[in-house]
Each structure stands twice: as structure tokens, then as C-alpha cells.
Amino acid sequence: MCILFVEVGQDDRSITLLANRDEFWHRQTQSLHQWADGIVAGMDLEQGGTWLALNPNGAFAALTNIRDPSKAAVGKRSRGEIPLAFVRGEYSAQSFGQWLQAHCDDYGGFNCLFGRVGDVWLFDGVTLSSTQLSPGRYAISNGATHDLWPKMRRGLALWEDVSPSMTWLDILQDTQKPPDDALPRTGVPFDVEQHLGSVFIERFGEQRPYGTVSSSRLTLTSAKYRLEELNYRSPSVGGLQVIIDGNVVDA
């Protein structure tokens, strides 16, 4: 997953998470569904992990990769294990941040957003530190979490200016790219950097097509949740949309 926008409610009693997953088009994936142990998530069928997960008790976690070709992209373990480690474990959010710091070398570079209503944290895979988020809106992409790339600013601005006629998908499907001189320089070829410059990455590449493969929204309170996913790789016109609602169960 390559970009996240999250709102920690001003009353600290709600969370809204908007997320685009960017991936190689042919990587096998199962769409959002409820797993046998009650977790709600999509599944990467190559490694068995996920990029965004929620458990029945209202604990959630979401990942983005760090884009840095100078470092190993793949670790000893799959990054898709990380959201599952939190939602299947008995960690407090603070203690999970400590776990991430201790185990981050086992994985390729990543940022991780995780927590519960009233206790949301962000692990920065560049500084290797965790921060508890205060009420407000945040964007997380593929670099240091304090480094707001143009597409992160763009998504936050769209969210701020959202009109009654707009939906959450209007934010996540935005394809506007910044001027070339505003793009981050992450070490990938510049033409690739240009493709990656928008919130929604249009499919590119002939031999190994890459782009945004799904968009998701999580709305969470202490009592209820809704997790929605639009999968663009579905043959259905406009993509396959899955919506799962539920009540949060006390741990």
C-alpha cells in the first residue's frame, strides 16, 4: 500500500482511514473479506499477509513501503506479516511501536499506522520511531512521515475542500501530477517518479504493469466499523466493491 490519509477525530472517538494500495498488476490477491479468525482484510496470495487489517475488537494496522532503491526492498520476512502481528497480538499500541523498532530489520523498509479509537500511532521507517497521533488529519506515503510529498499535500487539500457532491473515492482516484521540479527524488528512474507522483497511480509498464490496484476506506468508532474496498483489477465495470460492517467487540 503506497498512500494513506487518516483522520483522528477531534473528540478522539473516531478514526477515518483512506488508503490506496499500489502494486504490480499481476500479483495475486484476494479481495477484502472476513478471515476464519474474524480479522477483516484482503490477502496477498503470494506471501499470505496483508496491507490493511482490522480485528473484531477494533484494532487496526496499515502499511506503506519505503521507496529507497539504495536499500534492500525485501527483508528476511514479508512486510505483510506486520498488520497481522498487531491485530492478532495482545499488544498495546505503544508496546507494538517498541516491537516494530526491535524487529524492523527483519523486513524491507516500511511505515506503519496502527492502534485503536483513542490511541492511534505511526511508526516511521526512516527515523525508526513511533509517535502517538493527536486529533487531526495526516498523510503517509513512501518516505519519512514528516516529509510531505506533493501527492500527500494534494490528498489532504482535497479532503479539506471536499464538497457534498464528492465522495472518498474522488480523493483516492485523483490523478493530478505535480510539476517535475516538485517531485521527490527517491532514486528510481525519473520517468517512474513521474508516474508515481499522483494519489492514484495509473497503470504503467508493459512487462510488469504497476499502479493503484485498490482503494479502501475504514470508518471506526468504539462501537462500530465499516471497511470498504474497491478493487480495480476486477473484470466488473468500475471495479469490484466490497463493504463489510460490524460491531466492535469488547476485548
Please report, for the domain that includes residue 92, its CATH number: 3.60.60.10
The span from the CA of 147 to the CA of 216, in Å, is 23
Whether 71 shows a pLDDT value over 90: the answer reads no
Average pLDDT for residues 200-217, to the nearest whole number? Answer: 96
Q: Residue 134 sits in which domain range?
A: 3-247
Structure-model confidence comparison of residues 240 and 124, the more confident one: 124
- Identify the pLDDT of residue 32: 96
Residue among 17, 2, 23 nearest 232 (CA): 23
* Residues contacting residue 233 through CB under 8 Å, at least 6 positions apart: 25, 29, 213, 214, 239
Q: How confident is the model at residue 73 (pLDDT cuts 50, 70, 90)?
A: low
- How confident is the model over 192-204, as pLDDT tens digits? 999 999 999 999 9
Instruction: State the pLDDT at residue 162.
Output: 81
Total count of domains within the chain: 1
The C-alpha atoms of residue 115 and residue 56 are separated, in whole angstroms, by 13
- pLDDT tens for 132-151 read 999 999 999 999 999 999 99
Residue with the larger pLDDT of the pair 72 and 176: 176
**Rg of the chain, C-alpha, whole Å:** 17
pLDDT at 1: 66
- pLDDT of res. 174: 98
CA distances for 234 relative to 5, 52, 81, 143, 244, angstroms = 24, 19, 25, 29, 18
pLDDT score recorded for residue 72: 64
Share of the chain above pLDDT 90, in %: 87
Q: How many CA atoms lie within 13 A of 7 on its CB side?
A: 16
Q: How many CB atoms are closer than 10 A to CB 119?
A: 15
What is the mean pLDDT of the segment spanning 196-213? Answer: 97
Tens of pLDDT, residues 103-131: 999 999 999 999 999 999 999 999 999 99
Residue 11 — left, alpha, or beta (φ > 0 → left; ψ -120 to 50 → alpha)? alpha
pLDDT, position 189: 94
Task: Give the per-residue pLDDT at 235.
Answer: 66
Res. 70: pLDDT tops 80: no
pLDDT of residue 20: 98
pLDDT of residue 33: 96
pLDDT recorded at residue 202: 97
What's the chain's average pLDDT?
94
Q: How confident is the model at residue 240 (pLDDT cuts 50, 70, 90)?
A: confident
